[in-house]
Amino acid sequence: MLAFLPALCLSAYWVGGEALLVLCALGVPLIYATFGGAGHWFEAPAPQTRGPSLHTVAQEFLEIAQHNGQTTACLQITIPDIAQLTERLGSDASTEICGLLTARIKSSLRPSDHVFHDGKHQFTILISPGYRLRIDGLVDLGNRLRKVLESPVAVNGAPQAMSACIGIASSLSFGRNITAEAWLSSATDAMDEAVLAGHSATRLWSDRLSRHNKCRSDLQTDFIAALDQGLIRAVFQPQISVRTGNVVGMEAFARWEHPTRGVLTASEFLDAARDSGQLPRMGRTIFLQAVNALTDWGAAGFEVKSVSVNLSVEELRDPDIASRIKGDLERCTLPAHRVVFEVPETVLVPDGDDMTRRNITALAELGCRIDLDGFGTGGCNVIALQATPLTRVKLDKSLVRNVATAEDKKRALDALVGLCKRLELPILATGVESHEENGVLRELGCDVAQGHLFAEPASADDIKLWLADRHEEYRKANDAKIRRIK
């Protein structure tokens, strides 16, 4: 436009003289500045170009490594604490933390390596192909990254400590036909194994780890099917008064009647229940079976005052658990005070979950009794004991085992019993296996005992037979006593 301005001005002078020349010389640049030069104000912003996708880079790295005889690696990193920080501090703080962690990761890697963030609490790192990526070097890299990520992060002026779990999959561990999907999935499997190992763990993928994950996955599938088919059953173990020898209650345990592996205890399938997300469902199944068994024993003429059922941490975080239990009890017409819920000691640690505490209080207000399970092994303090509506504490079996022969254990147990007595909390000792242990518990002042000394865990029907035999033994003993008196 400016290039043609002299010609336009000359034409204007030829046609209209000096007046039109001045008008053209001043007006044409003004018009151009208004409608032409400012046109860029109304242009749509240029679309932002996104980098290559995770799958694309992974496939490219694998092909380069295979073609050149090099090695590449994938690291999957999860930081579970980010989810908790998001709930406590909000999404803005979470975004700030993730941005800072991403910058930390990139500063510890080469420019050719790639870092991907899933938008939540997981990072994927693809190490560009090279000739010196040995297994020990990858493990060192994982440990170095974990230390970098676990350095406290300042959020709103306060340092926040986090833990990272890392899974590593090296292309050296696979054949030439490995796909990007299988490679990334293998790193995720290694990361899941690191999570199961606990905080701040690093795991390297291997065939053995893959087989272990396959077995665990199959067990989860089988467990869901077992719940559907009613193969998860409750068994019961009596709780005996140390002073009188009378049955004061029963505790319910879960058992799995596996078609090929036989009867499995809860410890053998608890991880499968948790990983499959079916732990709350299993808990309710055992609860309903326990309530029905208690009603059945009463109808048969056997007085069992209460039945105890374990509540998992996952169940205690459910905001609807108290209302659901209330409805179940009303349908079964069972008074709430005859149900005892056992909660793990870990829920009473100082930084415990608020929802858990509210649910425990709601169950107590409903009339249910609350036992503190595993007392003496967790981080519970006296203030937490006083602030929680407990009706009894359960001494862990590790404190009872061999207490009759181990003087240090006896002193520790004596101290715990003394504390509970001062707090006016009755004591139930678990894992009692000998008369000597039971004698020590009686001597120290424990109220209730439970263990193989009295009875093995058994089905509701077998417990009914056990109660009948016990009742007959007491009847014969009383008859003999009456004859002696006569």
CATH number at 182 reads 3.30.70.270
Asked if residue 377 belongs to a domain, the reply is yes
Query: Quick one: how far is CA 125 from the chain centroid?
Result: 24
Asked if residue 330 belongs to a domain, the reply is yes
How many domains would you assign to the chain? 2
Average pLDDT for 312-334:
92
pLDDT cut 90: percent of the chain above it: 49
Torsions phi, psi for 414 (to 5 deg): -60, -40
Average pLDDT for 412-437:
91
Question: Is residue 246's pLDDT more than 60?
Answer: yes
Domain holding 158, by residue range, is 54-205
Q: Which residues in 221-297 belong to E strands, given as ranges?
A: 232-241, 247-258, 262-265
CATH number at 248 reads 3.20.20.450
Q: State whether 197 and 237 are in the same domain.
A: no
Asked if residue 226 belongs to a domain, the reply is yes
At 261, is the pLDDT very low, low, confident or very high (cuts 50, 70, 90)?
confident
For 239, 293, 309, 348, 468, the CA distances from 236, given in Å and listed in that order, are 10, 9, 10, 26, 15
At 12, is the pLDDT very low, low, confident or very high (cuts 50, 70, 90)?
low
* Residue that wins the pLDDT comparison between 20 and 183: 183
Q: State whether 377 and 273 are in the same domain.
A: yes
User: What CA–CA distance (Å, rounded) separates 334 from 330?
Assistant: 7
At 158, is the pLDDT very low, low, confident or very high (cuts 50, 70, 90)?
confident
Q: State whether 347 and 425 are in the same domain.
A: yes
Q: State whether 302 and 355 are in the same domain.
A: yes
Of the given ranges (196-205, 397-406, 437-446, 457-466), which has the lowest mean pLDDT? 196-205
Asked if residue 44 belongs to a domain, the reply is no
Helix axes 135-149, 91-107, angle to 10 degrees: 140
Q: State whether 190 and 226 are in the same domain.
A: no
Q: State whether 345 and 431 are in the same domain.
A: yes
Tokens of 217: 């996955």
Q: State whether 426 and 291 are in the same domain.
A: yes
**What's the length of the chain?**
486
Q: State whether 200 and 246 are in the same domain.
A: no
pLDDT at residue 40, rounded to an integer: 40
* Tens digit of each residue's pLDDT (9 = 90 or more) over 337-370: 999 999 988 787 665 668 888 999 999 999 999 9
Tokens of 158: 């306060």
**Closest Cα partner for 400 from 372, 434, 447?**
434
User: What CA–CA distance (Å, rounded) separates 420 from 392?
Assistant: 9
Write down the mean pLDDT value for the chain. Answer: 85
Asked if residue 483 belongs to a domain, the reply is no
Tokens of 109: 């890697």
**Closest Cα partner for 164 from 51, 75, 287?**
75
Query: Quick one: how far is CA 269 from the chain centroid?
Result: 15
Question: Is residue 64's pLDDT more than 90?
Answer: yes
Question: Is residue 291's pLDDT more than 70?
Answer: yes
**Which residue is it, tokens 């009755």?**
426
Q: State whether 233 and 367 are in the same domain.
A: yes
Asked if residue 47 belongs to a domain, the reply is no
Q: State whether 228 and 159 are in the same domain.
A: no
Q: Of 182, 205, 228, which residue is a domain's last? A: 205
Q: Of 205, 233, 251, which residue is a domain's last? A: 205
* Tens digit of each residue's pLDDT (9 = 90 or more) over 67-117: 999 999 999 999 888 877 776 777 777 788 888 899 999 999 999 999 999
Tokens of 447: 């109220």
Average pLDDT for 235-248:
93
**Closest Cα partner for 254 from 225, 275, 227, 222?**
227
Tokens of 357: 């505490």
User: What CA–CA distance (Å, rounded) separates 39 from 220?
Assistant: 63
Question: Is residue 485's pLDDT more than 80?
Answer: no
